[in-house]
Amino acid sequence: MNEYFPLLIPFLDSYIVLAQTDSTMLEMNRITRHLKKGNGGDESQRSGKHILAVQAITQTQGLGRKDNKWISPPGGLWLSLQYSHECFVPSFSLYIGHCLHKALLGLFPALRDRLAIKWTNDLMLQDRKLCGILIRHSETPEGDHLYQTGIGLNLNNPIDFSLMPYQAVSLGEEIGFPLDISYFAYVILMEIFQNVSLLTKQEEYISYCNEYLYAKNRRVRIVADNTSETGVLLGINVNGSLCLECGAPGKEIWSGTLSLC
């Protein structure tokens, strides 16, 4: 029996569920290219304004940042979403992180003290990684900003030998009962679309991220390309950069991978 069903989300133009694919993000790109070439579809599909989501039961080459791989066995929520917005939003990944956090807390309020947003793009349960978020941005010829969001959420997939080295955690294992993946997809997508007006008020969701910020007031290291900064994490600035106390108070960091020292 296939537990998945087409989701009734009014904001979405298409929702595609696959048993297996290499990566939902790559699949979404292939579908978009296909439609843009004029292979079927209506005007919105060809213009790239089509709001599309692709979910897979398993991914064979799930993507992380740069060359990172996202391990995606059956049981997790592996979902990509394509959404076009009229202006550039530098902190888009924090917007998505805040939506995911709110959606999960809405379902499990008891997680409040343990579920945290890791700048810029993960959700942590205690000190373990529950969810990864991958954002890709591009500009369309019409001047719109296309945001592709990949969400990898460990729901029912057990933390076996393949995930153990990454200090991953699975929500179902943590809660103690299996979770309905389709329902989580629904709740998360609704949270993202219902809050879209906040994209013009980034101080609101950044203040939310600061409230639930992972490693706040702890000593962290941020590694980006060939540079590394160490210091006490003070918070996220209103522009989305990270505020780190390292010698000079309040140094702004724009990108990098954060780890505890």
The answer to whether residue 183 forms part of the interface with ligand ATP (CB under 6 A) is no
The nearer residue to ligand ATP, 35 or 79, going by C-beta atoms, is 79
Number of residues forming the site for ligand ATP (CB under 6 A)? 17
The nearer residue to ligand ATP, 36 or 128, going by C-beta atoms, is 128
The answer to whether residue 154 forms part of the interface with ligand ATP (CB under 6 A) is yes
> Whole-number minimum distance, CB 93 to ligand ATP, in Å?
9
Q: Count other C-beta atoms under 10 Å from residue 183's C-beta.
A: 12
Residue of 70, 147, 205, 212 interacting with ligand ATP (CB under 6 A): 70
Residues 201-240 that bind ligand ATP (CB under 6 A): none
Residue 186 CA to residue 175 CA, distance in Å, equals 19
126-152: b (≥16 Cβ within 10 Å) or e: eeebbbbbbbbeeeeeeebbbbbbbbb
Instruction: List residues bridging with 251 in a β-sheet.
Output: 244
Residue 12 to residues 79, 186, 207, 225, Cα–Cα distance (Å): 14, 11, 28, 36
Residue 98 near residue 194, CB atoms below 8 Å:
no
Residue 133 near residue 148, CB atoms below 8 Å:
no
The nearer residue to ligand ATP, 27 or 122, going by C-beta atoms, is 122
> Whole-number minimum distance, CB 236 to ligand ATP, in Å?
14
User: Nearest-5° angle of CA 209, CA 55, CA 147?
Assistant: 50
Residues 84-143 that bind ligand ATP (CB under 6 A): 121-122, 129, 132
Residue of 26, 64, 186, 221 interacting with ligand ATP (CB under 6 A): 64
Which residues contribute to the site for ligand ATP (CB under 6 A)? 64-65, 68-71, 121-122, 129, 132, 152, 154, 163, 166, 168, 257-258
